[in-house]
Amino acid sequence: MPNPFPGMNPYLESPDFWPEVHNRLIVAIADALVPQLVPKYRVAIEKRIYEIKGEQSLLVGIPDVSIQRNPIPRNSTTSNVAVATRTTAPLKIRLAMSEEVREGYLEVIDMATKEVVTVIEVLSPANKRPGKGREMYEEKRDNIFGSRTHFVEIDLLRGLQPLSVLDNDIAAHYRILVSRGNQRPFADLYLFNIPDAIPCFPLPLGAGDVEPIVDLQALLNTVYDRAAYDITLDYTAELVPALSETDAVWADSLLEERGLRGRSQITTDS
């Protein structure tokens, strides 16, 4: 069964699936662009690597159960024998383990000059969550904005704080930013929600070049099919983050139509 949603599938945003979806989508975008850009350009899949600890936390552990004590009544009679006066159950905690994060992104490189013409980013949770990952990403983003390199930023994650742009106070689930190096500080921002198809956008290149149109919706649907997410995703599970009441009703109806659920089950954020 193909992707049941007309646009972004919110179930793909799950932490259990998104790292894989992210990698597959990066490769799919590269594979779609290569035939349209050779021989003048090459599309390189690059990676940045850094470490995070826990969930950006400096705590050694986070208790997830309360302390349980079973006090033993003391006998008022004195005794020379030492006895335990209480027992304490251990706390279940999570250690702040270091984790190596590898994030893929794309660079379109001019074969003659070896210059990076365009950078394409697909955001991950680490790019949006406060902490080292976001700080590193914002630094790279600012460096690109101060250069002549074109920049495309694809945000298919509803959760966490979006990356900053000016002149936009319109709320949307998802967005695509296309920033041309020769037009800054102006840029094109594509906003869309769960009921919407993902908009196509032109990939900025060198002056005078024909710009290929990136059909991200078709690429996402191909990723969905090739990974067989139709038999992997649980469409009865709760979405995180939750949908608004209106969107939840719409999603319930859509999934029921496609035979993926029998009754209203999606949790709302109201």
> Of 231, 266, 262, 217, which is closest to residue 9 (Cα–Cα)?
217
Buried (b) or exposed (e) across 11-46, using 16+ Cβ within 10 A?
Answer: bbbeeebbeebbbbbbebbbebbeeebeeebbbeee
Task: Decide if 194 contacts 173 (C-beta within 8 A).
Answer: yes
Mean per-residue pLDDT for 210-225?
98
Looking at residue 54, its pLDDT comes to 55
Alpha-helical runs (H) found in the chain: 18-37, 125-128, 132-145, 216-226, 245-257
CA–CA gap between residue 2 and residue 118 (Å, rounded): 31
| pLDDT tens digits, 149-159 | 999 999 999 98
240 pLDDT above the threshold of 90:
no
More confidently predicted of 109 and 265: 109
Looking at residue 89, its pLDDT comes to 82
| pLDDT tens digits, 93-119 | 766 666 666 789 999 999 999 999 999
CA–CA gap between residue 246 and residue 222 (Å, rounded): 28
Q: With cut-offs at 50, 70 and 90, classify the pLDDT of residue 169.
A: low
Lowest mean pLDDT among 22-26, 78-82, 164-168, 196-200: 78-82
How far from chain centre, in Å, is Cα 184?
26
Domain residue limits, the chain: 10-60+95-233, 236-270
